[in-house]
Structure 1
């Protein structure tokens, strides 16, 4: 069988690579999407200096888990005030990049509800207009800078929407570990665990292949070794660089496989129990590892390259790793009853991401 790996993102990695924005946007009008705390950190001023007069709009009202209730006004203001820009630069974690992906997809009337209706239909569509996107993550975990997906939330109606179009692949990803030096411990852990989940989910996946495995295994080995060290030494530039590269590898892996059961579970845990995404998609990893083990000989061999031949030891290692980062690993730890946990698992396995899991009853094409 021939394996195929495709990722169209022009990816640049290195300390200080944010300075490349000057060359990448020459002669263009640019809008910046950035997280609210960036101004106090001096990051908005730095990017304004890099871009100069080409920067025509700054959007700073990015919230965690971007919700449609807040996105509506931001989207319509963007198309009203910066509809003639060529490029959107997203600087921040997954929420900033996901927000930017939603903004760049233009509708006929510049109305957010038009976009929401298209997403709600579940059918593929070609937008009437779209902007070029440059993504610069400030956390080591999102993977959104090298994937086309954005998750949009509707907390009022307990829904989520997945946006993914050809134009929501970033044109360029700038992975600059220097931007990650001020990330606090809790966010460093949560985003690092998101990356670990991306990589593991890429392995226990119907869409896995030897190329995605290469990225995934390298990412997992790096994260298991590096994240606990970084948690205890947040100002270490070498460790920040290693985690940034590991997260990039994880992003490359799942850019071709999509995520699977742990992420499918996480959506309910975020909507109903308010768990940060990185915790919500990682606390079940030992459980999901057990559900994956023994389902597919090729997948087992890949997992055993990392964890060894015994399932009990593999689960214990993964559980101990999470506990060392103060992450609890049982549903009950998060106020979820046994019956509710079973219901969440049942629903998750039948979700779109759950069907990517090798333990699902039917493989996705």
Structure 2
């Protein structure tokens, strides 16, 4: 059996690598998509200085978990006012990058509801027009800078849409740990656990292969060691760099496998219980590890290279890590009854990501 690994993103990593933005964007008119606090942190001014007159449009009101209610107006103004730009740079966490991915997919009419109608079919499509994307994450966790996927939420209808096209692979990813120095502890935890989930989900996955495993195992080892230490020293250049690299490795792993059951569970927990994404997809990791164990000898061997051969100890290690960073690990902790939790798990197993889980058939 041969393994195939594909990732088309031109990836730049290292302290101060945002400086490369000027060279990357030559001959382009550029739009910036970023989060509301970016201007106060000096990020907008820095990008204006790097790009000069090439920066023709700025969106700086990205909201967490991009929702159709907010995206509709942003999308339609973007295509009406910035149609002449050929490149979009997203600077921020997963929400900024996901927002940018939605924006670069142009419809014939320039109307957002046309895009939603295409996404609702669940089938691939070729957009009428598109723009190139550069992704510069300011958090260590999203992985969106090296994957094509974006999640668009419709909280009013309790639905989500998954966007995944050839054009939504970023052309360039710039992972500059210097951008992460100001990330507060709560976001450092949530995004770091999102990365841990990406790595584990790529292992207990029907699409796993030895190449994705290599990235995933390296990411998990670094996160288990690094995240608790980083929370005690948020200004550490060394630890920020290690976490940024670990998150990148996790992103590379699931860029080829997609996520699995923990993420599928997370969508319901975010829509119905308001949990931030990184918490929603990580609090069940000890539970899902137990559900994964014993279904596939090769997957077991990979997991045991990380955690050892004792399942109870492996679950305790994950549970202890989560508790040490202030994350509770039971459905009841989030107001979910045992009956509702079982219903959420069974529903999640039927979703596209749930079907990637190695224990799906047995369940």
In structure 1, the partner of 2:335 is 335
In structure 2, the partner of 1:174 is 174
8 Å contact from structure 1 (residues 289, 315) kept in 2? yes
Q: Counterparts in 2 of 1:283-298, with a 5 A limit?
A: 283-298=283-298
Aligned-partner SS, 2:272 = helix
Q: Counterparts in 2 of 1:172-321, with a 5 A limit?
A: 172-321=172-321
Aligned-partner SS, 1:157 = coil
Aligned-partner SS, 1:161 = strand
8 Å contact from structure 1 (residues 29, 56) kept in 2? yes
8 Å contact from structure 1 (residues 91, 138) kept in 2? yes
Residue 50 of structure 1: how far off its partner (Å): 0.2
Count of residues in correspondence between the two structures? 363
Residue 141 of structure 1: how far off its partner (Å): 0.1
Q: Counterparts in 2 of 1:89-104, with a 5 A limit?
A: 89-104=89-104
Quote the Cα distance in structure 1 between the aligned partners of 2:313 and 2:42.
Answer: 46
8 Å contact from structure 1 (residues 355, 362) kept in 2? no
In structure 2, the partner of 1:62 is 62
In structure 1, the partner of 2:134 is 134
In structure 1, the partner of 2:148 is 148
8 Å contact from structure 1 (residues 31, 57) kept in 2? yes
Quote the Cα distance in structure 2 between the aligned partners of 1:53 and 1:309.
Answer: 58
In structure 2, the partner of 1:120 is 120
Quote the Cα distance in structure 1 between the aligned partners of 2:34 and 2:51.
Answer: 14
Asked if 1:44 corresponds to 2:76, the answer is no
Aligned-partner SS, 1:160 = strand
Aligned-partner SS, 2:162 = strand
In structure 2, the partner of 1:164 is 164
**CA displacement, residues 286-324 of structure 1 (integer Å, 9 cap, x when unaligned):** 000000000000000000000000000100111001000
Residue 333 of structure 1: how far off its partner (Å): 0.2
In structure 2, the partner of 1:354 is 354
Residue 362 of structure 1: how far off its partner (Å): 7.9
In structure 2, the partner of 1:19 is 19
Quote the Cα distance in structure 1 between the aligned partners of 2:65 and 2:244.
Answer: 21
What is the TM-score when the length of structure 1 is the normalising length? 0.99
Aligned-partner SS, 1:271 = helix
Quote the Cα distance in structure 2 between the aligned partners of 1:203 and 1:122.
Answer: 25
Quote the Cα distance in structure 2 between the aligned partners of 1:93 and 1:283.
Answer: 20
Quote the Cα distance in structure 1 between the aligned partners of 2:324 and 2:136.
Answer: 29
Structure 1 runs of 4+ with >3 Å offset:
none
